[in-house]
Structure 1
Amino acid sequence: MTRPHTLLINPTVTSRSSARFPLSLLHLAAALDKSGSSDIIDGNVDRDFVNDTLHALRTRRFDAVGISVMGGPQMAPSIEVSKAVREHFPDMPIVWGGYFPTLYTDTALAAPYVDYAIRGQGEESFPALMTALSTGDASSLAKIGSLSRKVDGEIVHNPSRRFSLADPNTVLSYDKLGDPSRYLARTFLGRRTAAHQASVGCRFRCTFCGVAAMFGGATALPATTRLERELSYLKYELGADSIQYFDHNFFDREEDMVPLLEVMAKLELPWWCYARSDALLKLSESSWKLVRKSRLRMAYIGAESPSGQMLKDIRKGTRPDQTLEVAELCRRNGVIPELSFMVGPPENTEEETEHTFEFIRELKRINPQSEIIVYVYTPLPESSRHEKDRGKRPSAPLLDVNGEPVVFPKTPEEWTQQHWVDYACHADAPWLTDKLRRRIRDFVTVLRCRYPTAQDLRSPRWAKRTLSVAASWRYSYRKYNRPWELELANRLVKLRMPQVSGL
């Protein structure tokens, strides 16, 4: 029997300088290669990735094309490459996986250029699909968990597959990316920062979160042997000097984290990660000693809101006082807390937004080094929540600024419209007035000029100091409205915006 061969594609979503390892495709390739083989084309590095895809299909045999798709700016290039494959290779099966087809499965399959969608994890479902396609065994398709497909013009969803625990023997094939060292970037962590993902999923079920919708409260931590093997490769063979962890929630239960922290403390690679305030506050002093020795530099913490009621409504599981406590805790331990907030909720929109601004000021008084990320609250539609959570704590119907129900797109093309790209990126919402949009934008401008991010290595120090001084009177007196002089200066300096560019 011929082993199935898969072409995996990561459509362009960042600049080349911001490209990081396409970890989802590396993990998927490792799973596919157990029973077949795979190639990877990364549009973040290969800028002409559509033509590269067509060239690969012309020169080598593939049984299917798998495309990793997120919402927002990755939608348009995902559609472009899918249409090109369908036009030039009309019989080639096209499979979409990742966040978008998991959250909006029917929308993805409404497109004539998408044949299959895999919901959630693909490490078991995709190899099973490839075996069925390569052998022509159509009858086995109905048995593949988490697979959605078209049957006689109708969309059919197979039952969801159970959550898969990480395989400690999995070895990622970085050589599939050509020269892996080109993915090492200069960041505030170091000169050669590598991206890595140790654990997958998150135990918590926040109603607004795509991770909760995708994994349904499941999580899997790595074996220490695997973590040490991966980090040793990155450090000693690739020359990485720091790590950006893309774990959905790095700190889980303390007893599970200690063995991992011991490995990281041994390698001493400065690192960044996602974390929760309650998890950090529960760490013992001995664990914090390991955190300091492992050289944690910054933790991205979803503070979300200063409203205890809103945190309860969205099932966050944390409290506002814990946000204040963790800012002080991080200060004492030499860790920069990068705290994200969601403003402009559908209810009590202006009041909650102004309350958040004041809370941010309080955080800055407690720990001036706190980095602040401001997003617009854009909840998932009820149909996109994990099947275990649908119907639980249903939110009020979403209404736009005119009081009309918000209607989400029904096709991938509609998701490429700028206002929906902004929605997916938490940059705008249909219920915001122009006045409030401007208020949010003005506050963020004053805040980021007054406190330039430590992640900005490009802007000269003198320029950041000058902007900070220029913004100080506005920040002190809460004169956020129309900071024209800061906007003008920022056109020249172009301060880094972590919520847009990341590290």
Structure 2
Amino acid sequence: MSQSPNTLLINPTITTSRVNARFPLSLLHLSAALDKHGSSEIVDGNVDRDLVDASLRKLEQGRFDAVGVSVMGGPQVAPAIEVSKAIRERFPATPIIWGGYFPTLHTETALAAPYVDYAIRGEGKESLPELLNALQNPEPALASISGLSWKNGGSIVHNPNRHFALPDDGHVLPYDKLGDPRRYLASTFLGRHTAAHQAAIGCRFRCTFCGVAAMFGGTTILPAAERLERDLSYLKYELGADSVLYFDNNFFDREADMIPLLEVMAKLEMPWWCFARADALLKLSESTWKLVRKSRLKMAYIGAESPNGQMLKEIRKGTRPDQTLQVVELCRRNGVIPELSFMVAPPQNTEEETEHTFEFIREMKRINPQTEVVVYIYTPLPESSRHEKDRGKRPATPLLDLNGEPVVFPTTPEEWTQRQWVDYACHVDAPWLTDKLRQRIHDFVTVLRCRYPTVQDLRSPHWAKRSLSAMATWRYRYRCYDRPWELNLANRLVRLRIPQVSGA
């Protein structure tokens, strides 16, 4: 009779320091699922900064039947490669399974690596336990596991996608596996002990540029109010959390479904931040907004993306520019700070669309000066990374670089660690950007964030932020963004916080 499987779950390093570590929620959910039929342990590279040593030490100290590595695109790919290679060298017989956004969006790329044996696409709470069972027993066969991609000789097999679920076993997540979970509570603009939490999974919208849409395919599942109350009560009364960052991909869904959750949050009154959509917030009734205010929503991160209505249609965003302007005013009236993200420098009409976005941002600031702005470069997903339901639908114009050549995406994990592709994955650069426009965007953002320092910056003293704002006033007023040398010099001393880099 085979032993119950024991799995080592690894969260490769992605934060710049321990202070920025948040709960590795995906691994906590996986661990809870695995422990129903076996056991599991977690190594979090955001806390255990020597990730390779910590992982190898765990494997040497106990018996593990497999290693699961959670991989986001961008800066997390390199440490994922490093730890996977080290494990393959030291423990060549131990199966290595990659899961998360990177192997979901780039499945064949992940499996092209000799140190990756299996890839879990989408949610892994059911697929991973089934895979562990299949590795220990002749039945069921690998081909029966939904959401799994695997190597069969010289070819790669992609099993059908798995339908998502949000099972509830009546227990909170196994936070104790992180050692002291209180070390994950951060001092933020929300409170002194801010916890990260995810209530719902997925998003029912199908934006063509979005990795969430590619992973979930337009599916979203909300938790029961009882579950949310149990989870938040544990965070508040057991761990001492006083505020919450909700990492739901889209917190506000249909109003009728949100009311029971908002009632729970209004009862606990923990200040919170979340992702939201302009159209969803505009549809809320006054009675629901009353609940929102009582629940102490402090900031909502809203994907505005573009002031171009036609572009919003092409990327299937489902919102309009006028709704963006309406929602910043609505948030002002309800005491909520809107944090809006924009994607500049699209592949077509690159400079024109970028300047149009700059002017739109100024209009938003006129309506609500408290509006926070995050500027990204528009870097669409490769066609092969879109959800299978969406591939071939509304195919985008081929992406061309500055030389007019087609953009060729990496075919190995190592290639994705090159600076140009890390920047692409993080929406900070694109092959079609000229040096002149790249500098123009950088200068605009410098003037904007100096003129309106973010409230999320707790490190910089108030006098410094006021001084920078005063220095930037004339540049902002007269649109003199180019070469803000004095602001760059002052920033070396003050080092204003950048939300898209350091997060909430």
| TM-score past 0.5 threshold | yes
- Letter of the structure 1 residue corresponding to residue 4 of structure 2: R
Instruction: Tell me the equivalent position of 2:114.
Output: 112
Structure 1 segment 162-181 matched on structure 2, within 5 A: 162-167=163-168, 169-181=170-182
Residues 168 and 225, structure 1, Cα contact 8 Å, conserved in 2:
no
1:190 is paired with a residue whose SS is coil
Instruction: Tell me the equivalent position of 1:342.
Output: 343
Residues 299 and 337, structure 1, Cα contact 8 Å, conserved in 2:
yes
Q: Distance in 1 between matches of 2:351 and 2:308?
A: 13
Instruction: Tell me the equivalent position of 1:446.
Output: 447
Instruction: Tell me the equivalent position of 1:271.
Output: 272
- Letter of the structure 2 residue corresponding to residue 93 of structure 1: P
Structure 2, unpaired ranges of 5+: none
Residues 345 and 376, structure 1, Cα contact 8 Å, conserved in 2:
yes
- Letter of the structure 2 residue corresponding to residue 104 of structure 1: H
Q: Distance in 1 between matches of 2:167 and 2:316?
A: 26
Quote how far apart the aligned CAs of 1:161 are.
Answer: 1.3
Residues 166 and 220, structure 1, Cα contact 8 Å, conserved in 2:
no
Q: Distance in 2 between matches of 1:169 and 1:484?
A: 57
**Quick one: which of 101, 104, 109 aligns to 1:102?**
104
Q: Distance in 1 between matches of 2:361 and 2:134?
A: 53
Instruction: Tell me the equivalent position of 2:63.
Output: 61
Normalized against structure 2, the TM-score is what? Answer: 0.99
Q: Distance in 1 between matches of 2:128 and 2:140?
A: 16
Q: Distance in 1 between matches of 2:503 and 2:261?
A: 25
1:9 is paired with a residue whose SS is strand
- Letter of the structure 1 residue corresponding to residue 387 of structure 2: H
- Letter of the structure 1 residue corresponding to residue 195 of structure 2: A
Instruction: Tell me the equivalent position of 1:205.
Output: 206
Q: Is it true that 1:40 corresponds to 2:42 in the alignment?
A: yes
2:192 is paired with a residue whose SS is strand
Quote how far apart the aligned CAs of 1:167 are.
Answer: 2.5
Instruction: Tell me the equivalent position of 1:432.
Output: 433
Q: Is it true that 1:233 corresponds to 2:234 in the alignment?
A: yes
Q: C-alpha offsets along residues 266-285 of structure 1, whole Å, 9 cap, x if unaligned?
A: 00000000000000000000
- Letter of the structure 2 residue corresponding to residue 354 of structure 1: E
- Letter of the structure 2 residue corresponding to residue 49 of structure 1: L
Q: Is it true that 1:368 corresponds to 2:350 in the alignment?
A: no
Structure 1 segment 388-403 matched on structure 2, within 5 A: 388-403=389-404
Q: Is it true that 1:246 corresponds to 2:247 in the alignment?
A: yes
1:272 is paired with a residue whose SS is strand
Normalized against structure 1, the TM-score is what? Answer: 0.99
Residues 172 and 234, structure 2, Cα contact 8 Å, conserved in 1:
no
> Structure 1 runs of 4+ off > 3 angstroms?
none
Q: Distance in 2 between matches of 1:368 and 1:442?
A: 20
Q: Distance in 1 between matches of 2:102 and 2:19?
A: 24
- Letter of the structure 2 residue corresponding to residue 187 of structure 1: T
Q: Distance in 1 between matches of 2:169 and 2:466?
A: 48
Quote how far apart the aligned CAs of 1:138 are.
Answer: 6.7
Instruction: Tell me the equivalent position of 1:82.
Output: 84
Q: C-alpha offsets along residues 264-320 of structure 1, whole Å, 9 cap, x if unaligned?
A: 000000000000000000000000000000000000000000000000000000000
RMSD, matched Cα:
0.8
- Letter of the structure 2 residue corresponding to residue 455 of structure 1: Q
Instruction: Tell me the equivalent position of 1:147.
Output: 148
1:129 is paired with a residue whose SS is helix
Residues 269 and 294, structure 2, Cα contact 8 Å, conserved in 1:
yes
Task: Number of aligned residue pairs: give it.
Answer: 502
1:130 is paired with a residue whose SS is helix
- Letter of the structure 2 residue corresponding to residue 338 of structure 1: E
Q: Distance in 2 between matches of 1:476 and 1:209?
A: 34
Structure 1 segment 403-442 matched on structure 2, within 5 A: 403-442=404-443
Instruction: Tell me the equivalent position of 2:132.
Output: 130
Q: C-alpha offsets along residues 407-463 of structure 1, whole Å, 9 cap, x if unaligned?
A: 000000000000100000000000010110000000000000000000000011111
Q: Distance in 1 between matches of 2:126 and 2:172?
A: 16
Quote how far apart the aligned CAs of 1:165 are.
Answer: 3.3
- Letter of the structure 2 residue corresponding to residue 184 of structure 1: L
- Letter of the structure 2 residue corresponding to residue 146 of structure 1: G
CA separation of 1:295 and 1:139: change in aligned 2, threshold 3 A: closer
2:413 is paired with a residue whose SS is coil
